[in-house]
């Protein structure tokens, strides 16, 4: 059965002080099946406290999203720092029971400008995750130079055991939704893609001004077609909703998130 998750990044952010102790109280109002824990770099010195808190909540965390800066460190040549940060996140994943870890293998302004370094790190990242009983999945993050699909296909060709997370917004940003579900993307389905992020997108091709993560129905993605394609490809994994739900004061829009859950459940059920 597909689980519908909501990322903690949708409910915890700068406006509410990145206070992770808000998670339990907010979770009680959400109609999802569990949460994807988003790890922030500012929390590195609080790892043990965070793990203890998350375990005590009794919340199901099937997935963890690693720090987004790890991919930037790799691209900048700070590989040992990147591996240390990554292993810390993966150790957290193991302790809270997460089996999937999402990683931005390239990220930020440096993005995919040093893919030689990025690709060289893949085998070690996979080994670190496996040593903790976790599967690391590389996400189709937006690119500055090439495109996410091209990089995912290259990674799959070089490292057939690599796993991936597919993000609808990221694909729409690069106008790759049709390519992802066409013959070109066939190699990534029926195994390699282990997780799906469901977000809407309101912009055009590489429209950086409209990169904000939106709830289903707030953009221009054809989700009916998207889920027909997912069913055709036989996708059986979980889904995470990432739509930002807190306002400038930190208040979380519970109704929006629950509406997203209901819309997503209807799409999954066809």
14-51, pLDDT tens digit by residue?
999 999 999 999 999 999 999 999 999 999 999 999 99
Closest CA to 3 of 47, 36, 43: 36
Q: What average pLDDT score do residues 66-84 get?
A: 97
Instruction: Tell me the residue range of the domain where 60 lies.
Output: 4-269
User: What is the Cα Rg of the chain in Å?
Assistant: 17
Distance CA 14, CA 224 (A): 33
- The tens digit of pLDDT for each residue in 169-228 reads 999 999 999 999 999 999 999 999 999 999 999 999 999 999 999 999 999 999 999 999
91-108 per-position pLDDT tens digit: 999 999 999 999 999 999
Token look-up 């009983």 returns 133
Q: For the chain, what is the mean pLDDT?
A: 97
Quick one: pLDDT at residue 58?
98
Given a cut of 90, is residue 1 above it in pLDDT?
Answer: no
Q: Which whole number is the average pLDDT over 118-132? A: 98
When divided into structural domains, the chain yields a total of 1
Is residue 4 within 8 A of residue 33, CB to CB? The reply is yes
CATH for 244: 3.20.20.150
pLDDT value of residue 147: 96
Position 198 scores a pLDDT of 97
pLDDT tier, 237 (very low <50, low <70, confident <90, very high otherwise)? very high
Here the tokens at position 92 are: 């957290």
∠ Cα 234 35 198 (to 5°):
45
SS3 string, the chain, reads CCCEEEEHHHCCCHHHCCCHHHHHHHHCCCCCCEEEEECCHHHHHHHHHHHHHHHHHCCCCCEEECCCHHHHHHHCCCHHHHHHHHHHHHHHHHHHCCCEEEECCCCCCCCCCCHHHHHHHHHHHHHHHHHCCCEEEEECCCCCCCCHHHHHHHHHHHCCCCEEEEEHHHHHHCCCHHHHHCHHHHHHCCCCEEEEEECECCCCCCCHHHCCCECCCCCCCCHHHHHHHHHHHCCCCEEEECCCCECCCCCECHHHHHHHHHHHHHHHHC
Q: How far is Cα of residue 270 from the mean position of the Cα atoms in its chain?
A: 23
Which tokens belong to 152? 């995912």
User: Rounded to whole angstroms, what are the CA distances from 97 to 3, 11, 135, 145, 209?
Assistant: 15, 21, 12, 36, 37
* Cβ 66 vs Cβ 101: under 8 Å: yes
The number of CA neighbours under 13 Å toward the Cβ of 173 is 25
Give the C-alpha separation, 129 to 152, whole Å: 18
- pLDDT of the residue at 32: 98
What pLDDT, on a 0 to 100 scale, did the predictor assign at position 196?
98
> Looking at residue 102, what is its pLDDT?
98
d(CA 31, CA 39): 22
pLDDT at 137 over 90: yes
In this prediction the pTM is: 0.97
Output the pLDDT for position 197.
Answer: 98
Average pLDDT over residues 241-265: 96
């Amino acid at each position: 059965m597909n689980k519908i998750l909501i990322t903690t990044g949708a409910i915890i952010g700068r406006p509410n002080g990145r206070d992770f102790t808000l998670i339990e109280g907010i979770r009680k109002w959400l109609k999802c099946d569990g949460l994807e824990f988003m790890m922030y770099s500012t929390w590195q010195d609080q790892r043990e406290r965070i793990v203890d808190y998350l375990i005590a909540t009794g919340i199901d965390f099937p997935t963890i999203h690693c720090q987004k800066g790890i991919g930037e460190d790799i691209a900048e040549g700070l590989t040992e720092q990147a591996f240390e940060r990554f292993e810390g996140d993966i150790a957290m994943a193991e302790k809270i029971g997460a089996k999937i870890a999402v990683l931005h293998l390239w990220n930020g302004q440096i993005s995919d400008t040093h893919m030689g370094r990025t690709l060289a790190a893949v085998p070690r990242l996979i080994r670190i995750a496996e040593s903790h009983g976790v599967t690391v999945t590389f996400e189709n993050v937006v690119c500055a130079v090439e495109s996410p699909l091209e990089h995912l296909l290259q990674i799959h060709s070089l490292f057939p055991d690599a796993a991936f997370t597919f993000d609808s917004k990221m694909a729409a940003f690069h106008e790759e939704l049709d390519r992802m579900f066409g013959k070109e993307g066939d190699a990534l389905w029926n195994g390699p893609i282990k997780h799906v992020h469901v977000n809407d997108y309101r912009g055009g091709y590489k429209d950086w001004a409209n990169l904000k993560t939106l709830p289903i129905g707030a953009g221009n993605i054809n989700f009916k077609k998207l889920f027909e394609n997912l069913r055709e490809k036989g996708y059986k994994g979980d889904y995470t909703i990432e739509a930002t739900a807190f306002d400038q004061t930190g208040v979380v829009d519970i109704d929006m998130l629950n509406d997203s859950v209901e819309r997503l459940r209807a799409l999954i059920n066809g």
